[in-house]
Chains A and B, each alone.
Chain A
């Protein structure tokens, strides 16, 4: 009984920290429509800053905490607000890419600066034992009270304060809000400052229990997603309770399940189990996406002229065939590079063509890799084993189509994120996959007198299969399914209304994409001769999305560019300092590409100038002025900095105003 109470108290304390981070997350999501995947990264940054100020510079902890929260919370929050503002019309995929870029980039930067080894982080809150039934640390009481006070304060603020009420309106109709003499930018800044400060505080509070380790700190605060899901990503009080539920269930599962073999994976994964299950069972009507009214679709790259595309493809293929002659011992680098081309091409099918964001692509590859190793050990012929490995992955993709069918845009991204981590924690270590030894042998093919087992031989095997997979992707893109997928990305409602079941199309694309990823995974093992779960860490799935975003918009070209960027280029960097910064670069670059559309490779060079000009000269402004002149007038003077003046009136104002006039309803 005592152990139970101790576990509950411990759970309430850590749960309070999750609740803080989660409430900040919900606050910013509600007001900006940006779901900040990087909330945990912000927390980690604050913890590092606090550590430096206090343990290296010897500043007393209250002042160090104040500086950390001010710098990371307030300054970071204001920067994030700018990012959110730039993304307000962006498609869901760009919004995800931007914050995922930060999630990848910030911990990578911290690891590059401080080294990747974990450091001890001293307790700073007074921790005298107080006797309440059992001994409770004063630090636990302080944390609990702080989170509770924040929850109460924030809830009251939303219900009572004008600023708080304004926050509820700002995401869907900033123009309307500015008509009420409330500057939407001020409202957003407050929201981001508060939300990010909450993250910073949670990072500083949680660091003493786990030490200074960027990836772990980041992941711990990611556990706040589960709490936010319990609050349906909108309700502050429910999110607070959700944080406590996550904390207590995690602590209790630690107490009762950790000793049972087979369940050891449960306690640390509890928040992700909660996240995934809550997303699956929450009624659809509670999970309305924020900020999609303004969202536009990213333009597709115009089809290339055959006179350009055919020679480019041939030259590229020729180079790849000749490659083993001049790269020497670096050939394995190119092998994995090609496998990443398959991964990127299949991810592009999901993200680009059909507009569905998946953050667990590497989980599919892992299923393929482990199944291949098993099939191979059963004595199944090599080519068949690869094919079967791909086929085994198809149903896993189909499983993931279930949240895709249920959940709109951003929630799918969150669900896949949780799914990827769960797969890694639970299924990877299971005997069906890599097992507890976490390593399986994966031999190369043997085919009579052909030397397929050599580096060069196996390179050509991979090249052949990569080309075949690329052909599949191109065929899908150009076939009817490709058109249906584009239509799905643009307007699922219209696709359904014309007789194609969108659920089935989603299922198909997830199945195809997963199957291809499975094949890539299967081929990856034989490059080194063995395969393990670490190769398929969930964080690489995030990196995958970030790098895909900065490789342009062409289905195949971007896959090759991304494969080269992620695998080949880092292999040529011999300077340790520089290579430490590579993931950080990918993260930051992805943010930049998402925020400033048009600096991705393809767009700058390949979109005809004419198209851009024509878009600039659209008659939108005139229409807007005709329909409701005061919106145009009101937008400018009330939005303080002036940057909203010109750009605030988006090209949908006319439609929206018209809808309001006609009494449109959802």
Chain B
């Protein structure tokens, strides 16, 4: 075991006859970026969905900073500090960039109590605005605040989704292919942002196909194939591993 953070213990997810995730055990510490890689269909996104409670788990458990989340719903897991982004971006398309980012912390505060769905005290409003501004600035989106997210490019939309997650004050983030649709410069910028975010103690589990990005930010990677964990170790070890190469057929890891 490598410290606290997100702990996944013997997690299995079955869709009918297909075992999408097969007894996966992994742990990702706070304050670092851990990679979760594997070929298409390996079960990476399903693992994420199981962690956040959006697909039912067949067996196994998920914990966050040693707090068992297995029996919580998606919203309550988010309340516990587990955030995520989506492979297929889930933005509030009718709203502006600033409104999108502000809704992250707002939703987190709203979900706490029954009455907090209805009323926002002025102090919270200021707090939300402050956090949203910080996140926008941190992701270099301040100049786009009043644009509608629907009008942005894919790369910018990915950044909005990240900014929203960063503004929400999560303790651990699951990022699902955040760099797909980003160009080289945007990817580098993205790597800087998430590296900066973990410096303040945030833990990240990153699903990614861009191996250059994984190499540059992850100290430790897990490799999934056909729902099974086939390797764990440093990125350099992963690239030298025969098992990993076989899984990728040498195409992407090369």
Contacts and interface: CB of A to CB of B under 8 A. Distances in A.
Interface of A: 296-300, 479-481, 483-484, 486-487, 489-491, 493-502, 504-505, 508, 614-615, 618-619, 623, 654-655, 658-659, 662-665
Interface stretch (B62-70, B105-113, B131-139, B195-203): B105-113
A505 B117 contact: yes
A569 B107 CA distance: 43
Given A483-B106, A496-B54, A615-B151, 20 more contacts: A479-B120, A480-B116, A480-B118, A484-B106, A486-B92, A487-B92, A491-B90, A497-B78, A497-B84, A497-B86, A498-B78, A498-B83, A499-B75, A499-B108, A499-B112, A505-B117, A508-B117, A655-B181, A658-B181, A662-B177
B180 A662 contact: yes
B72 to A, nearest CB: 11
Contacts of B120: 479-480
A495 B73 CA distance: 13
B154 interface: yes
Nearest to B110: A500
Interface string B30-49: 00000000001100010000
B136 to A, nearest CB: 16
A245 B93 CA distance: 43
Given A297-B93, A479-B119, A501 B111 contact: yes
A296 B107 contact: no
A570 B107 CA distance: 44
A498 B118 contact: no
Contacts of B93: 296-297, 490-491
A499 B95 contact: no
B153 interface: yes
Contacts, number: 127
7 contacts: A480-B106, A480-B120, A495-B107, A496-B73, A499-B107, A502-B75, A619-B153
B103 A663 contact: no
B119 A480 contact: yes
Contacts of A664: 87-88
Interface in B148-165: 151, 153-154, 164-165
- The size class of the interface chain B forms with chain A is 35 or more
Contacts of B90: 491, 493-494, 497
A126 B44 CA distance: 64
Question: Nearest 9 pairs between A and B by C-beta?
Answer: A663-B40, A498-B107, A499-B78, A494-B90, A501-B75, A490-B92, A500-B111, A499-B111, A499-B108
A481 B118 contact: yes
B16 to A, nearest CB: 10
A16 B87 CA distance: 45
A494 B108 contact: no
B168 to A, nearest CB: 5
Nearest to B116: A480
Given A487-B103, A498-B108, A499-B111, A663 B91 contact: no
Nearest to A508: B117
Interface of B: 40-41, 45, 52, 54, 73-76, 78-79, 83-84, 86-88, 90-95, 99, 103-104, 106-108, 110-112, 114, 116-120, 151, 153-154, 164-165, 168, 177, 180-181, 209
Contacts of A486: 92, 94-95
Nearest to A663: B40
A487 B93 CA distance: 9
B173 to A, nearest CB: 11
B92 A494 contact: yes
Contacts of A505: 117
A496 B75 contact: yes
A494 B88 CA distance: 11
Which of A491, A614, A658: most chain B CB closer than 10 A?
A491
B177 to A, nearest CB: 7
B165 to A, nearest CB: 8
Contacts of A496: 54, 73-75, 78
Contact of B103 (A483, A502, A659): A483
A623 B110 contact: no
A498 B95 CA distance: 16
B249 to A, nearest CB: 14
A353 to B, nearest CB: 10
A500 B117 contact: yes
Given A505-B117, A615-B151, A494 B168 contact: no
Given A490-B94, A499-B107, A658 B180 contact: yes
Nearest to A489: B94
Given A508-B117, A623-B154, A662-B209, A499 B168 contact: yes
Contacts of A494: 86, 90-92, 164
Chain B CB count within 10 A is highest, among A299, A500, A504, A659, for A500
A479 B125 CA distance: 11
Contacts of A483: 99, 103, 106
A491 B91 CA distance: 7
A480 B110 contact: yes
A479 B118 contact: yes
A649 to B, nearest CB: 16
Nearest to B80: A499
Contacts of B151: 614-615, 618
Contact of A300 (B94, B106, B118): B94
B83 A497 contact: yes
Contacts of A508: 117-118
